[in-house]
Amino acid sequence: MKHINVALFVPHKGCPHMCSFCNQKTISGTSSELTQSDIDEAVRIATSKEYDKENSEIAFFGGSFTAIDRKYMIQLLECAYKYVDSGLFKGIRCSTRPDAIDEEMLEILKNYGVTAIELGAQSMDDEVLSMNDRGHTAEDVVKASQLIKKHGFELGLQMMTGLYGSTPEKDIETAERLISLKPETVRIYPTVVLENTRLATLYRSGDYTPETTEEAVENCSVILDMFNNAGIKVIRLGLHSGGNVEEGFVAGAFHPAFRELCESRIYFDKLKKIIDKEKITGKITIYVCPSEISKMTGQKKSNILLLEQMGVQAGVRGDGRLGKYEPRVVRED
């Protein structure tokens, strides 16, 4: 049975200022204030079909949930909690800033059925954080993550690549530091420059160049593989299409199938290593986990065509004994 995630947006609520890249109204496609009747209506629609109650959540995204006006935050939590209390959902998830977490807040969240907290870390480089107007430090991410885990919540961390002032090396260091905090889940967003943001101004003045989609795929495929090797679930890779992102897009790495591009890249890089090491040419069969065949093949057979340019003619087959990102090569000549 399908699990559902009732995503409710509180765009920019609680944010002390605007981060360089952020335009939640464009990302979420909503600008009105979330009300209790919006929550009731979203839950009514979501629960009108069969779903897995044990694994479904109500989620507050798009702002700094724990920094919003306390009375309003509690009204929203009370409204959502009645559905958790009646067994329709396993819990509530919220996203917030690392500097808006303390013991008292965690007690409140626990009392209202919050089970998972996601922190917008974005970078673990203090200079990058400052250049992008985040208003918190890497140490704030460490402290908040430790506190969240100590209080028994599921920890989610969000990071961005290609931010103003960042480099692929700094992004990889960020991923390493996030792995050391042992989150249960991660979201990775290559930077997309949106209208009405400071990044758009910096981009137009020539002071900032975002990653191209190709560069972001290269960078994010390495990072995705790192989280995968550490056993950490990447629940999102790349900005969602939808909302008003297409209309607000200025520049950067935005592709509706971004994750698939990264996964195909992981397979190609692993294959290339094997081929180079074993000096393979001619015909081969590549075996992968059966559900991964299309990722190995690549969009429009891109990986197969790249292999051909290296003098290798490859067929791809499924093998249920293989795990994710574990290609096995058999020579056919």
Judged by DSSP in three states, 103 sits in: helix
The token pair at 191 is 């930077």
Minimum Å gap between C-beta 24 and ligand SF4 is 5
Cβ nearer to ligand SF4, comparing 64 with 264: 64
Cβ nearer to ligand SF4, comparing 14 with 168: 14
Strands 328-331, 282-288: pairing is antiparallel
Residue carrying structure tokens 């290269």: 218
Judged by DSSP in three states, 92 sits in: strand
Minimum Å gap between C-beta 63 and ligand SF4 is 5
- Alpha-carbon distances of 272 from 4, 288, 300, 303, rounded to whole Å: 38, 15, 19, 10
Minimum Å gap between C-beta 48 and ligand SF4 is 30
Minimum Å gap between C-beta 179 and ligand SF4 is 22
CA 172 from chain centre, in angstroms, equals 15
Minimum Å gap between C-beta 208 and ligand SF4 is 17
How open is the CA angle 305-309-315, to the nearest 5 degrees?
45
Minimum Å gap between C-beta 18 and ligand SF4 is 5
Cβ nearer to ligand SF4, comparing 120 with 298: 120
Cα distance from N-terminal residue to C-terminal residue, the chain: 45
Cβ nearer to ligand SF4, comparing 141 with 217: 141
The token pair at 8 is 């409710």
Using CA atoms, how far apart are residues 95 and 320, in angstroms rounded to an integer? 37
Q: Which residues bind ligand SF4 (CB under 6 A)?
A: 12, 15, 18-19, 22, 24, 63-64, 97, 120
| Largest pairwise CA distance in the chain | 71
Residues constituting the chain: 333
Cβ nearer to ligand SF4, comparing 22 with 216: 22
Cβ nearer to ligand SF4, comparing 12 with 187: 12
